[in-house]
Structure 1
């Protein structure tokens, strides 16, 4: 098997892709120390999406690329990955996208960015597989500081159900795709967890895992937007608000069978994810 380049290899999904590939992984990271701290297998390369020539060198001789980008204000990152893959003769790109792309009511910055990235990949002449995620369970790690300090989870839309997906399941689908492009190229996979839970319900699950009570506090739109603005550019904060409004209308509640169809096993539960990540909350 030719090497597989794993971009975002220290991220929530990429780290599991790295472990799934083992020595076949070529891990593209910004911080080699973080990759070492996580104990990731494979060859570590330091690179940046904004350096096309460096990307091309990292991709030389690879058979596939697992592509994940995270900045909707930098669409050139996706352009550079596709161009470098083509220039380096990579045969297959497995791209992480978002299930909101399939929602005709989703027209915010993040939805448009993902749609355009998918379209660019399809038009590239490369073999491709697209993994459209529902919200990853790892988003709940954003609650960790409040849980540790106060025993509180604060979120907008506490009753909006979301079929959040375990990042480990996404990674398993990605590894299956890069190992067998004949079976998975040209496919768009929508990936969810086994059940839709609200933030209140996730809080209750987390409390059960921790063995102590947790309090849920509903944020207003104004409070949530203020928090996002402290960390993110205004267009991204507005996109998150738009997504939260769609979730409140039920847009994220559908459960899809894809994880089981590709991996042959049931997708992981939020309780299982919380047990695995318990140390982040104590």
Structure 2
């Protein structure tokens, strides 16, 4: 049995969907409604802070996709690793971040990911680390303003990032979870080209067939918007990460993903075409202008 943690998240839900086409899979969720119920997906509800639920989720599991989401709660990562070791799990596949390889990256989120990797290495369980760049799906945060105003608001218009399609990351995770020979390896997962927010906006406008206006946010405005959704230390870490992007730290594509999947990585244009409905004009949805 394979256990997918963070199963309703950006990567986890795709991994569950792909795995369940060919084999039973167990999906660990918190308290949200799961999009799948019944075979071949076994939904288990648990809490990273509750060792009893983690122990139950790990029972009979061979491999785990480890996805955590709170850099202020490293004990969640520790709890998962401890539960996996106690249950005799043989392979931990950790969703990490490519920033861990950058010696100049020292923000809260990157330190948390490095520590999580170190903890898994020290556990005695076989491991694989998946280290993606930013997800193309982060552009969905623009959807409301695009629908209602035809505007994209983002910081650092000219900051390049080799963003990756979450579906490609999920397919990489499935390969690693189901095939031998990936233990002890760390995979850099990027998209095929570096794109700036301004260029992403231009591509999205072309896909939608209508003009979009780009509004560059100042550092202060970006921080304020992030702090409305995240604790202040996390918001500050995200801003520092964006500043590294502006300095060019995230712009280099890597060929690991195509080699792992045996096909080219999906482009941002392809992602935008597949998600165009999310950016549909308000009038088309029957929403008020």
When normalised by structure 1's length, the TM-score is 0.96
Q: SS in structure 1 opposite 2:245? A: helix
Aligned partner of 2:275 in structure 1 is 277
Superposition RMSD in Å: 1.5
Aligned partner of 2:7 in structure 1 is 9
Q: Give the gaps of 5 or more residues in structure 1.
A: none
Structure 1 residues 232 and 26, CA gap change in structure 2 (3 angstroms)? same
CA distance in 1, matches of 2:103, 2:144: 35
2:60 matches 1:49 = no
Q: SS in structure 2 opposite 1:231? A: coil
Deviation at 1:41, TM superposition (A): 5.7
1:32–1:44: 8 Å Cα contact kept in structure 2?
no
Paired residues for 1:109-120 under 5 Å = 109-120=108-119
Aligned partner of 1:194 in structure 2 is 192
2:7–2:13: 8 Å Cα contact kept in structure 1?
yes
Aligned partner of 1:70 in structure 2 is 69
Alignment size in residue pairs: 278
Q: Following TM superposition, where does structure 1 have runs of at least 4 consecutive aligned residues deviating by more than 6 angstroms?
A: none
Structure 1 residues 40 and 75, CA gap change in structure 2 (3 angstroms)? farther
Aligned partner of 2:25 in structure 1 is 25
CA distance in 2, matches of 1:91, 1:120: 15
Aligned partner of 1:176 in structure 2 is 175
Q: Deviations over 1:36-83 (max 9, x none)?
A: 49x996111111111111111111101100011111001111101111
Deviation at 1:24, TM superposition (A): 2.1
Whichever structure has more helix as a proportion of its residues is 1
When normalised by structure 2's length, the TM-score is 0.93
CA distance in 2, matches of 1:63, 1:32: 25
CA distance in 1, matches of 2:121, 2:74: 15
2:34–2:43: 8 Å Cα contact kept in structure 1?
no
